[in-house]
Amino acid sequence: MADNMEPDRIVVLGAGYAGLRCISTLALARRQGLLDARLTLVERHGYHQLITWLHEVACEVIPAERARVPLDRLIPDDQVEIVQAEVTGVDPEQRQVITDKGRMPYSRLVVALGSEPAWPQIPGLRDYALSLRWWHQAVHVRTHVRRQFAKAGRARTRGARRRLARIVIAGGGFTGCQLAGEFAHWLPLLADTYDVPLDDVHLMLVEAEERLLPAWRRWVGRRAEQVLRRKGVDVRLGAPLERVEQEYVVIAGERVPTATLIWAGGIQAPPFLETAGLPTGPQGRVYTDAFLRASGFRDLYVAGDSALAIDARGHVLPATAAQALRQGEHVAKVLLAEAAGASPPPYQARHLAMFISLGGGDAVGDIFGVPVRGRAAGLIKEGVERWYHNMITAALASRDG
Ligand SMILES: Cc1cc2nc3c(=O)[nH]c(=O)nc-3n(C[C@H](O)[C@H](O)[C@H](O)COP(=O)(O)OP(=O)(O)OC[C@H]3O[C@@H](n4cnc5c(N)ncnc54)[C@H](O)[C@@H]3O)c2cc1C
């Protein structure tokens, strides 16, 4: 890692939806001679993850490898230096990124580190719960659940079998609902494979608030609840998770034996952003100005889940891949405009079309406020995700060719 300050070095942190889009746009501009800056991408994993497919990986709907693409094959190495490292802090005063491999200077920084599960102080939660935020966790959930069903098939007592064949998902937001929808289709197949009577299979989705998808429009949550209940999901609302032990969980005072708890109860931006003195709001996300710079910071931009984007009506925009892509692209445009000595374009924060899959090709969502549901919504969601996957693999094919 270089110790000397480069005259102009743009460092992008995170190769998720926002970071990859940003660095790819900058790399293309550099190749075309529109940008004269050294480009560095810092990412802990050696791959880009298609996170919107993780619940499908976890439930064996798609092969795991489909949901990640190696970074060195996605990013032109003649334009971008890829550093595989864990970012542990940012020092805006010194203009340095702190990583597990040392400090790295920047002249302009793009923080696109996404979000991570928020872990509230629920006894036992961190010790026993699984989560679903990264690719390897999806693979782990899949392996774990399969293993529990295999054990359930061999269990000597009904009590033991029911504990092993019960999945509890805590958190009825985006991740929890999508995961419950896929499990509803997968668990009967597992039960069949391992000779577990269907009566002993139990899928619970518990949410502390009185409705699913509390951060979304009310009708979306109602629709998700109807569909999931119809698929046999035991949806419990106003039911906080209170305690987690190895053999059971306690939900709203009720002791529920289970071998699988998946925590999907909320996200937060990396906590070191706040420690670095960046202006943070709810979920530790960073307030940004009209150009997606961290408010009050001249050379530090934030995009994706780490940023707190607010629309003209004062609503916080949800943390979604679509928002992250749009912001990553916009930050690149701002950087390019600045490099060309032009006025950067302000960012227009707005609600985008969004969809939540509910398993078996079913989904719910809206396009510019118009509700779409059922198979039609599922097809649109699938189409958008395929488009994204194809766009990435097309880039690969053109490089390989
Ligand atoms: C199971 C699941 C399903 C989802 N489904 C959908 C969906 O259908 N539609 C939708 O719009 N949104 C969906 N989302 C939300 C969506 O995935 C996020 O909003 C989106 O990934 C945000 O993009 P981002 O670029 O901000 O962050 P990410 O895509 O998470 O990228 C952040 C990157 O930063 C890297 N990173 C993080 N911390 C560090 C560190 N300390 N050091 C080095 N590297 C680091 C990560 O490895 C990652 O590559 C889903 C989320 C989950 C968990």
DSSP codes, 204-244: EEEESSSSSSTTS-HHHHHHHHHHHHHTT-EEEES--EEEE
Helix (H) or strand (E) holding 365: strand 362-367
Which pLDDT band, with edges at 50, 70 and 90, does 399 fall under? low
Higher pLDDT, 329 or 214: 329
Which pLDDT band, with edges at 50, 70 and 90, does 160 fall under? very high
112 within ligand 1 shell (Cβ under 6 A): yes
**Percentage above 70 pLDDT, the chain:** 97
pLDDT digits (tens, 9 = 90+) for 24-37: 999 999 999 999 99
pLDDT digits (tens, 9 = 90+) for 291-309: 999 999 999 999 999 999 8
Q: Model-level pTM?
A: 0.94
CA of 258 to the centre of ligand 1 (A): 28
Enumerate domains of the chain plus CATH numbers.
Answer: 9-115+269-351 (3.50.50.100), 125-263 (3.50.50.60)
Identify the residue whose tokens are 């293309």: 28
171 within ligand 1 shell (Cβ under 6 A): no
CA of 14 to the centre of ligand 1 (A): 9
The pick from 320, 325, 392 for probing ligand 1's pocket by mutation, whose C-beta has the most ligand atoms within 8 angstroms, reads 320
CA 285/CA 328 separation, integer angstroms? 15
45 within ligand 1 shell (Cβ under 6 A): yes
Cβ atoms of residues 129 and 29 within 8 Å: no
Using CA positions, which residue lies closest to atom 7 of ligand 1?
52
- CA dihedral (275, 280, 282, 285) in degrees, to 10, reads -90
Check pLDDT > 80 for residue 258: yes
19 within ligand 1 shell (Cβ under 6 A): yes
258 within ligand 1 shell (Cβ under 6 A): no
Tell me the residue ranges of DSSP E strands in 2-155: 9-13, 38-43, 47-49, 68-70, 80-84, 87-91, 96-99, 102-105, 108-111, 116-117, 130-131
Q: Which residues pair with 11 in a beta bridge?
A: 40, 109
135 within ligand 1 shell (Cβ under 6 A): no
Which pLDDT band, with edges at 50, 70 and 90, does 397 fall under? low
